[in-house]
Amino acid sequence: MLRRLNSKTALILTILLMVFTCSVMAQKDLPIDKNATKETVNLYHNLKRIAQKSYLFGHQDATAYGIGWKELENKSDVKDVTGEFPGLYGWDLSGIELKNPKNIDGVVFNNTRKLVQQAYQRGGVNTFSWHCPSPFGYEKGAWDVTKGTVKSILPGGANHEKYKLWLDNVAGFFLSLKDEQNQLIPILFRPYHELTGNWFWWGTSACSPEEFKAIWKYTIQYLRDVKQVHSLLYVYNTGGDFKNKEEYLERYPGDDYADALSFDSYQFNDPSKDDGFIRAVDAKLTILDNLAKEKNKIEALAETGYEAIPYPEWWTKTLAAAIGNHPISYVLVWRNAGFVESMKKMHYYAPFKGQVSEKDFIIFSKMDRTLFEKDAKTEKLYQ
């Protein structure tokens, strides 16, 4: 009888230990903001979950404008072609820091707020980049590569107080993104993107790795701890120029300051003659696979595309091939701006009705791994 009791007791203790261990592990697997909202935590976990079998397809400014239209209700070039909205929506904050009514691409912030809310209600995910202008001169925007700019906005710098006011405006906008129940909408925030490039004032030609890490940490601490914004997942985003994990991590602020690891990579060569894009993206995603697993982070191809998509089968034979079975949570292609006067050409990255890659894009949207909005809703990413 005593032997049976001891055996039963041992079994109960084992079960309790397992439950306790699972509970501790679950508590450890949290976003870097330990006070993140329930919906934000759920999105964090579910983005990791879906990456094992699929990924969200995203489009920048998908419902704000497209080829031949702007600010039309329930409209999207992606939806016109596939019958459904993308699963991920990209937006940009540039302009909010100065309290401008519109962002850098002419999208009215009040309209952005409405479109973010609509995307969330449909089950989609929203991500924001921030082409933050230089505090030394707004005319060059984010592309002012004056050395010392980052140092000037750090504590003690000449532009530090100005930067804090900018962050106040950023925080105010994020805190205004609420659903019908007045709950904060989770956002994937991708500040200082393409940080390993040399074309922005936070890039390699304008600041040191130590300075970049410092401003990244300060930005997160200010939004999270001072302004109490608890609906953000922070996306560390490099350019596509790294060759190994050491290069990728040169400016990495540490595991306590990033929820997702990503990079941007665009197609420039003719994919019908050169598979260099496929090989390059595959190699970089392999590096990211290992890092994301090691650091327990979300993995993503945060920005990509082929301008004007002249190759009819780019979606299935190039993009899908480059992603392969890498466990990314999402991929986003850039915006459909139409004809851009300064460029003197058409500037778009998703097909529209009649575009040469339209049929291939429909096939791509139905592939097992790609998730558009109906699929995203089925995945219940916020629950």
* CATH of residue 366: 3.20.20.80
CA-to-CA distance for 12 and 15, rounded, in angstroms? 5
| Torsions phi, psi for 92 (to 5 deg) | -130, 140
How much of the chain, in percent, has pLDDT values that exceed 70?
A: 93
Number of helices and strands (H, E) in the chain? 13, 13
For residue 103, what are the CA distances in angstroms to 61, 107, 132, 163, 172?
A: 11, 5, 10, 18, 15
Residue 238 and residue 206 share a domain: yes
CA-to-CA distance for 134 and 166, rounded, in angstroms? 11
Average pLDDT, rounded, for the chain:
93
Residue 186 and residue 59 share a domain: yes
Chain centroid to CA 206: how far?
24
Are the CB atoms for 269 and 245 separated by under 8 Å? Answer: no
User: What's residue 27's pLDDT?
Assistant: 52
| Torsions phi, psi for 297 (to 5 deg) | -120, 160
Catalytic residue among 39, 97, 299, 303: 303
Q: Which residues contact 73 (CB under 8 A, 6 or more apart)?
A: none
**Which value, in Å, is the radius of gyration of the alpha carbons in the chain?**
22
Residue 234 and residue 142 share a domain: yes
Residue 172 and residue 187 share a domain: yes
Residue 364 and residue 263 share a domain: yes
Domain count, the chain: 2
Is the pLDDT at 349 greater than 90? The verdict is yes
| Torsions phi, psi for 65 (to 5 deg) | -165, 170
User: What's residue 282's pLDDT?
Assistant: 98
φ/ψ bin of 14: left (φ > 0), alpha (ψ from -120 to 50), beta (otherwise): alpha
CA-to-CA distance for 204 and 215, rounded, in angstroms? 14
Strand extents, DSSP E, the chain: 55-60, 65-66, 69-70, 88-92, 125-130, 187-191, 232-238, 260-267, 298-306, 330-333, 338-340, 345-347, 370-371
CA-to-CA distance for 201 and 128, rounded, in angstroms? 19
For residue 114, what are the CA distances in angstroms to 8, 227, 296?
A: 58, 23, 33
User: What's residue 23's pLDDT?
Assistant: 40
28: exposed, middle or buried (Cβ count in 10 Å: 0-12, 13-18, 19+)? exposed
User: What's residue 6's pLDDT?
Assistant: 56
| Torsions phi, psi for 68 (to 5 deg) | 85, 10
Residue 224, token pair as written in the block: 């999270």
Residue pLDDT, tens place only, 49-64: 999 999 999 999 999 9
CA-to-CA distance for 188 and 46, rounded, in angstroms? 13
Q: Length of the chain, please?
A: 383
How much is the average pLDDT of 189-218?
97
**Cβ count near 250 (within 10 Å):** 15
How much is the average pLDDT of 318-328?
98
The yes-or-no answer on residue 303 being catalytic is: yes
How much is the average pLDDT of 196-216?
97
The closest alpha carbon to 218, from 237, 198, 234, 200, belongs to 234
How much is the average pLDDT of 158-163?
97
Which residue range(s) make up the domain with 87? 37-379
CA-to-CA distance for 360 and 370, rounded, in angstroms? 13
Residue 354 and residue 284 share a domain: yes
The yes-or-no answer on residue 194 being catalytic is: yes
Residue 116 and residue 15 share a domain: no
Residue pLDDT, tens place only, 1-33: 444 445 555 445 444 444 343 443 445 799 999
Residue pLDDT, tens place only, 290-305: 999 999 999 999 999 9
pTM above 0.85, yes or no: yes
User: What's residue 16's pLDDT?
Assistant: 46
How much of the chain, in percent, has pLDDT values that exceed 90?
A: 91
Residue 138 and residue 164 share a domain: yes
Residue 1 and residue 67 share a domain: no
Residue 375 and residue 319 share a domain: yes
User: What's residue 34's pLDDT?
Assistant: 97
Residue pLDDT, tens place only, 147-157: 999 999 999 99
Residue 115 and residue 14 share a domain: no
Residue pLDDT, tens place only, 225-273: 999 999 999 999 999 999 999 999 999 999 999 999 999 999 999 999 9
User: What's residue 11's pLDDT?
Assistant: 47
Residue type, 223: L
Catalytic residue among 97, 194, 313, 373: 194
Residue 14 and residue 142 share a domain: no
User: What's residue 140's pLDDT?
Assistant: 85
How much is the average pLDDT of 56-79?
97
Per-residue pLDDT band for 138 (boundaries 50, 70, 90) equals confident
Is the pLDDT at 71 greater than 70? The verdict is yes
Is the pLDDT at 212 greater than 70? The verdict is yes
